[in-house]
Amino acid sequence: MTQPDGHLLAELNIGRLLAPTDDPRVADFMDNLDRINGLGKRMPGFVWMMEGSGEPGTGNTEHKIDGDPQFVSNLTVWEDVASLEKFVWGTVHKQFYERRAEWFELMDKMHFVMWWVPEGHQPSLNEALGRLEYLQENGDSDHAFGWTYLKDAQLWKTQRCAPIAAE
């Protein structure tokens, strides 16, 4: 699938922490959350990120999924596939992605989704969770998709880490 004119790429990534956000077992993740999010916001092609309270070291972790404080989400919008790929696989973000098993439970189903949004649209968490649910139930489509559905996506093929959960 190619990027429709007048549209940007939205993505949602969710995970469930192995422990509460103030637990030492997830401290390294939490201590670097602002750094990695800040890097993303400075990347060429970054458009928007769902923000949290602004409290240092919390990222947007107060956005609960199903009321569970250990479920965390990252919802962003990018100009194009190449911009998101460069951030995910071509920056220090990849080092933290490689360590995800240290901080997150193994999920038994897809936990990442992308979709096209009209320029200027900031998706809500509920909208994004709806896209993820659609992908989980129906697979890749123009409505919701993963990396394999994007013909312009290339870095994920060579730079991604070995899968530890459903991707």
Q: What is the dihedral of CA 159, 87, 34, 69, to 10 degrees?
A: -70
Per-state percent for the chain, helix, strand, coil, to nearest 5:
35, 20, 45
pLDDT tens-digit series, residues 65-84:
888 889 889 999 999 999 99
Average pLDDT over residues 122-128: 95
* pLDDT score of 166 more than 90: no
Average pLDDT over residues 138-166: 75
Query: Which pLDDT value is given to residue 136?
Result: 95
Instruction: Report percent pLDDT > 70 for the chain.
Output: 86
Token couple for 125: 């968490």
Query: Which pLDDT value is given to residue 167?
Result: 42
Query: Which pLDDT value is given to residue 158?
Result: 66
Confidence of residue 97 (pLDDT cuts 50, 70, 90): confident
Q: What is the pTM of this model?
A: 0.88
**Domains (range + CATH), the chain:** 7-159 (3.30.70.100)
* pLDDT score of 162 more than 60: no
The SS3 call for residue 68 is strand
For residue 73, what is the enclosing H or E element? strand 71-78
Query: Which pLDDT value is given to residue 7?
Result: 98
* pLDDT score of 62 more than 50: yes
Query: Which pLDDT value is given to residue 55?
Result: 65
Confidence of residue 110 (pLDDT cuts 50, 70, 90): confident
